[in-house]
Structure formats: structure tokens, C-alpha cells
Homo-oligomer: A and B are copies of this chain.
């Protein structure tokens, strides 16, 4: 039986292209004692992967060249030499961009229950993106009922959870998303109070005016996924003692870093800005995933997925993700 995988063939300069990736096929090695074989149903595409493609100092080791691209996966155990896992078990793990992965069962996969929660959600609202939203909102923003929270990339895997959790906490929720369809979804289906289509305001002054109009009492908490000019405008609307959870800065991932125009606002408004990586707070995952799982199972936390079909579609789907062409959590379906 053969496996197919996508490796990073070369490091992108600026925007990644198809030439940076290579699809390979090779026979699967027999399992050793204790190992299990997982057939991936879905793999996750996430913006953080762009950073890993650089050979630069960052919070994680760079993706090695000519090795399987890293990434979260959900699937089914199809072969097991480990007593704790049986064929048919559904598991979430970090199997990478390939059809099959081999796990040790020593912390690298986790069994999940798909009775009330669809398998793919464990890569989204009940997985790393959901936990990212939960951690940033609950532990950095410390939401209070009546306060105003702002989140960009609002229709995405992380932003959609941030806004819905904030609504459940009684906050006034303002989303920022790209395009009228995404904004309609954010407002009408996810229940945000407001959504600004940033693409409708290419001039920073116009975007700022639009943001001001929907935040008459300023912004107390901001969840940042994008950075750049959006963050600059939000900083101008932050109230005294505001909190900013800095989760991503996708606007600068493909090019040179985008400066922060007016850092003195951090002082003037006595803001707290905190960058975080949710995988460094694993001790909180049981609490967070428990809450998120309950909300998804009872229909209180909605989500949407963009699903690309087949392993070979992954690079293009990833390029589109970096440009915001996805709508909701970006997955690649493998079976």
C-alpha cells in the first residue's frame, strides 16, 4: 500500500508558489510494536504554516526541506499494534500533508468522539483554532459583559469562535471581514452585532471612519489576526486599559514586516498587548475544548468550512487561504 505526501521542496520568497511543493508517493513501512496507522480524513490548512516555511528565528523550528509539510489532521485508525487504539477509532493529531501517518500513541494522537461533534470540527472550533480563540479571549482579553470586542478575519476559523464566545459573554461584538458575503454571514448567521467589510474601505481614513461609526464607545478588547493597517485603525479606537490578544499578523506573512504606525497609543491608552501561541498553553486545552465541544454539540457555536478536494489541491488551497479567499475553516478532504 502506498502513501502520498507533499513535501516543502524550496523556501518561498514572498508569496509561495506551486514550485515550492512536491507531491511524492512511497510504500508504507510495516508498523512496529506500539505503532498505529491513521488514514487521514481531513487535513487542516492554517496561516501559521507560512511562517514555518521561512528559515528564520521564530517560535517554532522551520519546516525542514524535503520533509512532509506539518499540519493538523483527523482520521481513522486503520491498523494498530497498540492496545490502546483499535481499528475504527477516530483520532486527531499532527499527521501532516499526507494520506496516512504513523503514530506512536504516546501523546501524538488523541481519540475523539464523533457522536455529537463532526470529525472535521476537531480541526476547527473544537481544535487548535477554537482553542486559540478561547485562550486569547478568555485569558488575555478577559471579557466583561457590556464591553466592546473587535476581531478581524471574523468569518475565519478563529475569528468566528472569538465573536460567538464574546456574544455568549454579553459583549458588543464587532467583526472585520473581507467582502459582503463574509460580513453577512458574520452578522446574520454568527450573530455578531456589526461587521465591517474592510475591502469596501481601501483608504485607511475611510476604514477608520467606518470602524468609529460602529464602536461609539470605543474598543475594550481586540483579537488581532491580521495586523497592518487594520491594527493601526483599531489602536486609535482602543479605550483606556484595553487588551489586545495578538494571535496573527497575516497581512505581513508574505512580505516585509508592516510597521505599527503609532505605538505611542499603547502608552497613551495604557494598553496591554500580548502575543501568544496556543500550543504553549496545553494545560488549558481540556477546559477550553470541553467548553467548545459542548457549545458545538448543542448548536450554540456555529462554524463554516471551505473544503478542498484531495491532497494535490492543498498548495493552491493554502495560497488562497493566505489571500483570504477561503470562507471559514480551510480543510482538505482526503477520503
Contacts and interface: CB of A to CB of B under 8 A. Distances in A.
B262 A259 contact: yes
Contact of A268 (B59, B260, B263, B280): B59
Interface in A267-300: 267-277, 280
Interface stretch (A23-31, A97-105, A243-251): A243-251
A264 interface: yes
Copies of this chain, complex-wide, total 2
A142 B259 CA distance: 28
Contacts of A246: 266-267
A252 interface: yes
Given A59-B240, A240-B59, A259-B259, A270 B275 contact: yes
A191 B241 CA distance: 35
Majority SS at the chain A contact face: loop
Nearest to A252: B264
Given A247-B267, A268-B275, A274-B272, A259 B261 contact: yes
Contacts of A275: 266-272
A58 interface: yes
Which of A258, A260, A261 has most B Cβ within 10 Å? Answer: A260
Nearest to A140: B272
A257 interface: yes
23 contacts: A51-B268, A59-B240, A59-B270, A227-B263, A227-B264, A231-B263, A248-B267, A249-B263, A257-B263, A257-B264, A258-B263, A259-B259, A259-B260, A259-B262, A260-B260, A260-B263, A266-B274, A269-B275, A270-B276, A270-B277, A270-B280, A271-B274, A272-B272
